[in-house]
Chains A and B, each alone.
Chain A
Amino acid sequence: MIELDSISKTYMTEETETRALRDVSLGIATGEFVAVMGPSGCGKSTLMNILGMIDRPTAGQYRFEDNDVSRFTEKELVEFRKKSLGFVFQNFNLIDEMSVEENIALPLLYRGIARKQRKSRVREALELVGLVGRGRHRPTQLSGGQQQRVAVARAVIADPKLILADEPTGNLDSANGAEVMNLLTLLNQDGATILMVTHSTEEAALAGRVIAMKDGRVQTDRQAPASTES
C-alpha cells in the first residue's frame, strides 16, 4: 500500500541543520500492524507526519496506492488525507469545547456527510470503543484512557485506509494503555492498516512488524513471530 523511497527530511534552524530522516526506504502492505521504535529524537514523529501528509519530505519519493504523494498539491493532499488517513496523538488533541460525539463526528463533517448518517456512525464508533452513554460528555470529563479511545473513534470513523498513532499510550498508565492497545489490535483484525510509534517493547510485541530507528535511519525491520498468534 505504501512505498517510501529514500525519504529524507532536514530541518534548517538558525545555525544547525537537523537531519531527522536519512534515506528511509520501506514498504507497508495493506492490513499490516507496524510498530516504530527508537530513542527520543531519532525521527519517529517525523516519519509519521510525512506518512500522514501533514509534513513534506525534503527528498525522496512517497507512493500511496500508486499515487506519487510527494507531487500532490495542497488541495489534493487535503482530499487524500480526508479519504485515507486517521490520526491518534500522544496528547489526544481533542477539542475541549465540543462534546465527545461532536469530536468524533468532526471528520464526517468535513467530508460533507449528512447529519442522520453522522449520528448512526458516531453511535457505532462509540460502541466500538466502549463509550456508549458518554457521547454528551466533554473530553475534560473523561479519564485519559477514555479520551484516547475517543481519539481512536475519531480516527476510525471515516473508514481510513491507514491509521497513524504517535505514542498513543505515551500519556496513559498501563491499564489504560492496554485498553487502547486492545482497541488497535481489534481494528487491525478487522482489516485496518496501522502504524504506531511506541517506546514499550510489550506493545510492540502486539504488532506484526517492528521497525527500529536510530539517528533518522531504519536500523532493523523484522516480522514479529507473535503476530499470527494474537
Chain B
Amino acid sequence: MYLHYLRNAGRQLKRSPFTAEMNIVSLALGFTCFFAAIAVNAYWSLSDSVLDGSKSIYVLTQEYGEGSQRTGFRPRVTAPIARYLQSDFPTLAAVARVGNKRRWTVTWGSQKLHLTGARADAALVDVFDFDVVAGNLETALAGPDNVVMTSRAAKRLFGDRNPIGLNILVGEDFSPVVRAVVALPDGPTHFGPDEEASGYFDFLYAWPDESGQPEWWLSIGPVTYVRFDPTVSSMTPEILRSELDAFMARHLPPDQANMAVTQLDLIPLSQLPTRTLDLALFESRADSLSITWILNLLGVMVLAVAGLNYANLATAQAALGIKQMGMRKVLGATRLQVFQQYWVESLAQSVVAAVLAVCALLLLAPAVQRETGIDLLLGLSERLTHWPLFLVIVVVVATLSCLLPAVRMMQIEPIQALRHGAVAPFSRFVASGLVVFQFAVTCTLVTLLIVVQLQNNHVQSSALGSDPRSLLILTDDDSRALGYKSIAEALREERRVEGATSMDFLPWSNHENFLRVSREETGVDGVQQVFLNQVGYRYFSTFGTQLLAGRTFSEERGDTETSSLSDAAAIGDPVEIVVDLTLIRLLGFDTAEDALGADLYLSREFRQTLDMNPVMTIVGVVETRPLVLSASGTRANLYLLNDAPYFYPVVKLADGGSPAAVRAVSEAVQSRRPNAMVRYELFDEAFGRGFAPVDRFTKAVRLLSVLAIAIAVLGLVGMAIFKTHRRRHEIGVRKTMGASSYQVAVLILRDFSIPVVAGCLLSLPFAYWATQAYLSGFIDAIDVSVLPWLIAVVGCVLLSWLAAGGQAYSAARQLPSDVLRSE
C-alpha cells in the first residue's frame, strides 16, 4: 500500500513537475537553513570537547555595574580571585589563570616573529592535559624565565631544530628559555587554531608572584579556569556557584565594593566561544539574548515559511485532485487511507528535501569554513549521530505541511467530489490565510534586513569618517616604545605623511578605561561614567573629530602633558580636559560654550580608591565619536593629553594614503630602531576586526532572510500557476464577453495582492519589535521611522507581482477559444 502511495507521489511529480520541484526546492532551502543553524550551534557546543576531561572544566565570569550600565557576565575575572578560590575551596582539582595576552616581537638569532604570548599559572597543566611534544611541562611554568611554546610557533621560529633549552628574546628585555613544547589538539578549541580564538596563544610564561601587591578588583583580569574532579571530591559546579556571592563578600576590599557592584558566575568551558560572541553582539543583554537561540529561531522561521509554502501548494493541488480523491473514496478508500496518501507524498518530498539540504550543506561547508572558521561538517556529523531526532523533525515538518489539505480531503464526501466543480475544497479564506501568514513573516524579515543594513552603514560611516585608509595605527612594540613624537620627527621631511598622534588603546578593541566624574566638588551627586581617552597632540585633527567649542590640546600653546592624573593632582594644578557633547548633555549644560571653563571632579569612591583628587577643567568640547563599538551603557568621552610608552602611535597619511606612504612610515621607524618589525593596521582594518562579529551576524541574518523571501516568492509562483490554471475557463468566458487582456491581468494581480498586502500590514508590530530589539544593542543607534517597513511592504508587493506576473500575462493573452474548447 505504501508503495502505491509512493508511486503516486512519483506520478504527482511527473504530472506537475514544476510545482513538485518547487515544493522540494523550497523545503530543501528551509531544511538547509534549519540544519545549518543546528550545525553551527553544534559546532560551537563541540568547542574544546577534544580536550581531555573538558566536561569538568569551567570558566569564571564576572559582571560589573547594575541597572542599565551592566557589562554582562564576561569570562574574565579580576586577578586575585584565583588565589583566594584555591585557598577557600581546597577540594577544587585545579584553578589557573591565563592573562596579559599580547603580541610580542620574538627574536631568535636572525629570526624575528610576531607571536602571541600570555602569562599562565603553573597549575594550568593541572587544568588541561596538554599533549607534551618535548621538554618538561610540569616545571616549565614554575620559573620566571621559562616559556612553553606551541609546536606550531616553535616550528615557525626554530624550524626543525629541537627548541628545548634555546634562549629567545621577547620584546626588548625579556629573554627566557624554552622549557616545553605542547601540541594543541586538532578540532575546535578556544585555543585555536584560528588566531581570533579567544584563548589563542603561541607561548606562555610564568605569572609573577603578586603576594603583598595591592589588589585591584574592578578591572578586567585574566581568564580563570576551574577544574572539578568528581572522582576525588564532592565539589560540583553547582555547589561552587552557590558559594560565589559569599566568596565575593569575603574578599572584595570594602572601599572597592563601594565603587561598583560586581558579581561572579561560572560557565562550562564549552560555552566560552558562544559567550564571547554573545557579549560582542549583545553586551549586558547576553544573559538573556543568545546567538544560539537567535540562530535557531531564524532557522525555524525559514523552515516555517517553507512548510507554509508546501501547505499552500499542496492545498492548491488538492483542489485539482479533488475528483480523483472522490473516485478513490467511491472505490473504497477509507479516511485513514486518504490521509496516508497525502502524508506519504509529503513525507517523500520532505525526505528528498532533507537529503538535498544535507548535500547542500556538504557543498557549502568549505566556503563557510573559509568565511567564518565554522566547520559545518563537524557540527552536522555530531548532530547526525542523533539521526532519529532529524527523522522526527522531517516527519513533523511533513505532517504539519500536509495536514491542511489531507484533513480537508478526508472530510470530503465522495458525491460532492465527483460532482464536477460542485465544491471548492477550501474556502478562499484558508488559502489566503496561509499567504497572509507567510508574508507577515517575510515582511518582518525584510524590514529587519533593511534596518540592519541601515544601522551597519550608519555605524561604519560614523565610525570610519571620510578617509579611513589614510589613518595608520602602529601596533608593534618598537613603534610603540618609540612614541609618536619621535616617529613624527623622523617623518618631518616626508610629504606623504601629514602628521602623527597617539591614543592609549587600540581602536575598536575591548578597551574599558572608565572614570566617574561630577560637577560637584563632593563627588557625590550627578556622577556620570565616562571613557577616559589619553591622547596625543593633534588627536582630534588626525581623526577629523569636529571641535564644537573652546580649543583642543596644542603643542604651540605650550600645553604640557601630564604623565598621569595623579601627578597632576600632586602638583595641585587643574588638569585641562576636552569632553564630548554627550558628557556635556549628561552633566546638564545647555550648550557647549556653557561648559567651557567648568571644573569636574572624580566621584568620591574613585577619589578614595585612587587616593587623589584632581580638578579637571573643560577647555574644549568635541562631537561624540567613540572609538569602541560597545561599552556596557557608557557613551560619554573625556580626553586627557597624555603620552606614555606603549600607547599607540597613529599616523595620518597625505592624499588618502598609499602603499608608498605606509612604507615611508615603516622606514622612518626603522631609521630609529634598525631591528624593528613594524606592524600596523589601517583604521578601517581595525574597525573590520572589531566589527567582525556584528558583521558575521548581520550576514547570517541577511542570508536567512533572503532565503525566506526566495521561498515565499517561489511559493507564490506556484500558487499563481495553480490559480490561473483553475481560472482559465473563467478568463476565457470573460474574454469572450469582451474583457481586454489588460483587465484580465489586473484582475489576477489584484486577487494576488490582497493577501500579500494583508500579511505585510500584519507584520508591523512584529517588525517594530524585532528592529527595536536589534537596535537597542548599539551605542549609536539610528532613529527608525516607519519608512523601512513601508519599503518592505512595497518590496513584498512588487515581488508578489513579479511572481504572479508571468502567469497573469500568459493567462491574459490566451485565446478564449483554446480554453473553452478544452473544457
B244 within 8 A of A: no
Bound together, the chains give a CA A49 to CA B420 distance in angstroms of 15
Bound together, the chains give a CA A107 to CA B415 distance in angstroms of 17
B675 within 8 A of A: no
CB pair A93 B332 closer than 8 Å: no
Interface segment, A24-32, A57-65, A75-83, A203-211?
Answer: A75-83
A223: min CB distance to chain B, Å: 30
Among A49, A54, A81, the most chain B Cβ lie within 10 Å of the Cβ of A54
CB pair B11 A98 closer than 8 Å: yes
Report chain B residues within 8 Å CB of A75: 334
Bound together, the chains give a CA A39 to CA B448 distance in angstroms of 66
Selected from B12, B324, B327, B330, the residue in CB contact (under 8 A) with A81 is: B330
Report chain A residues within 8 Å CB of B571: none
B557 within 8 A of A: no
CB pair A95 B324 closer than 8 Å: yes
A154 within 8 A of B: yes
Selected from A49, A74, A82, the residue in CB contact (under 8 A) with B332 is: A82
CB pair B415 A109 closer than 8 Å: no
CB pair B331 A89 closer than 8 Å: no
B328 within 8 A of A: yes
CB-CB contacts below 8 Å: B453-487 with A: none
A174: min CB distance to chain B, Å: 24
CB pair A55 B332 closer than 8 Å: no
CB pair A52 B334 closer than 8 Å: no
B294: min CB distance to chain A, Å: 44
Report chain A residues within 8 Å CB of B8: 97
Bound together, the chains give a CA A75 to CA B410 distance in angstroms of 12
A33 within 8 A of B: no
CB pair B333 A49 closer than 8 Å: no
Name the CB-closest residue of A to B15.
A97
Among A81, A89, A95, A154, the most chain B Cβ lie within 10 Å of the Cβ of A95
CB pair B413 A93 closer than 8 Å: no
CB pair A109 B4 closer than 8 Å: yes
Given contacts A49-B415, A93-B323, A97-B12, contact A54 B330 (CB under 8 A): yes
Report chain A residues within 8 Å CB of B11: 97-98
CB-CB contacts below 8 Å: A101-152 with B: 106-107, 109-112
CB pair A107 B331 closer than 8 Å: yes
CB pair A78 B332 closer than 8 Å: yes
CB pair A111 B327 closer than 8 Å: no
A87: min CB distance to chain B, Å: 6
Name the CB-closest residue of B to A110.
B332
CB pair A93 B334 closer than 8 Å: no
Report chain A residues within 8 Å CB of B698: none
CB pair B330 A52 closer than 8 Å: yes
- The total of chain A residues at the interface (CB under 8 A) is 24
A107: min CB distance to chain B, Å: 5
Among A49, A93, A158, the most chain B Cβ lie within 10 Å of the Cβ of A93
Bound together, the chains give a CA A54 to CA B328 distance in angstroms of 12
B55 within 8 A of A: no
Selected from A91, A97, A112, A154, the residue in CB contact (under 8 A) with B331 is: A154
CB pair B331 A106 closer than 8 Å: yes
> Main SS of the interface on chain B?
helix
Report chain A residues within 8 Å CB of B324: 95
Bound together, the chains give a CA A52 to CA B329 distance in angstroms of 12
- The total of chain B residues at the interface (CB under 8 A) is 25
B1 within 8 A of A: yes
CB pair A110 B331 closer than 8 Å: yes
CB pair B330 A110 closer than 8 Å: no
CB-CB contacts below 8 Å: B335-357 with A: 335, 337
Name the CB-closest residue of A to B12.
A97
B414 within 8 A of A: yes
Report chain B residues within 8 Å CB of A81: 330, 332
CB pair B333 A110 closer than 8 Å: yes
Bound together, the chains give a CA A176 to CA B323 distance in angstroms of 25
Selected from A49, A52, A106, A111, the residue in CB contact (under 8 A) with B328 is: A106
Given contacts A78-B332, A109-B1, contact A95 B327 (CB under 8 A): yes
B817: min CB distance to chain A, Å: 22
A93: min CB distance to chain B, Å: 5
A106: min CB distance to chain B, Å: 5
Report chain A residues within 8 Å CB of B12: 97
Name the CB-closest residue of A to B333.
A110
CB-CB contacts below 8 Å: B146-180 with A: none
B241 within 8 A of A: no
CB pair A111 B332 closer than 8 Å: yes
Bound together, the chains give a CA A87 to CA B331 distance in angstroms of 8
CB-CB contacts below 8 Å: B303-335 with A: 323-324, 326-335
Report chain B residues within 8 Å CB of A95: 324, 327-328
Report chain A residues within 8 Å CB of B420: 91
CB pair B337 A110 closer than 8 Å: yes
CB-CB contacts below 8 Å: A156-196 with B: 158
B418 within 8 A of A: yes
A91: min CB distance to chain B, Å: 8
Selected from A55, A74, A112, the residue in CB contact (under 8 A) with B415 is: A55
Among B15, B323, B334, the most chain A Cβ lie within 10 Å of the Cβ of B334
Report chain A residues within 8 Å CB of B335: 74
Among B8, B330, B333, B334, the most chain A Cβ lie within 10 Å of the Cβ of B330
Report chain B residues within 8 Å CB of A109: 1, 4
CB pair B334 A78 closer than 8 Å: yes
Given contacts A98-B11, A109-B1, contact A93 B415 (CB under 8 A): no
B14 within 8 A of A: yes
A89: min CB distance to chain B, Å: 7
Name the CB-closest residue of A to B334.
A78
Bound together, the chains give a CA A97 to CA B337 distance in angstroms of 19
CB pair A87 B334 closer than 8 Å: no
Given contacts A75-B334, A78-B334, contact A97 B328 (CB under 8 A): no
Report chain B residues within 8 Å CB of A89: 418
Bound together, the chains give a CA A87 to CA B329 distance in angstroms of 11
Bound together, the chains give a CA A31 to CA B520 distance in angstroms of 113
CB pair A97 B14 closer than 8 Å: yes
Name the CB-closest residue of B to A49.
B415
Bound together, the chains give a CA A87 to CA B326 distance in angstroms of 12
Q: List 24 A-B contacts (CB under 8 A).
A: A49-B415, A54-B330, A54-B413, A54-B415, A78-B329, A78-B332, A78-B334, A81-B330, A82-B332, A87-B331, A93-B326, A93-B327, A93-B330, A95-B324, A95-B328, A98-B11, A106-B328, A107-B331, A109-B1, A110-B331, A110-B332, A110-B334, A111-B332, A158-B332
Instruction: List 6 additional contacts besides A87-B330, A95-B328; criterion CB under 8 Å.
Output: A78-B333, A97-B11, A97-B12, A109-B1, A110-B331, A110-B332
Q: Which 7 A-B pairs have the closest CB atoms?
A: A82-B332, A110-B332, A97-B11, A54-B414, A54-B415, A55-B415, A93-B327
Chain A residues in the interface with B (C-beta under 8 A):
49, 52, 54-55, 74-75, 78, 81-82, 87, 89, 91, 93, 95, 97-98, 106-107, 109-112, 154, 158
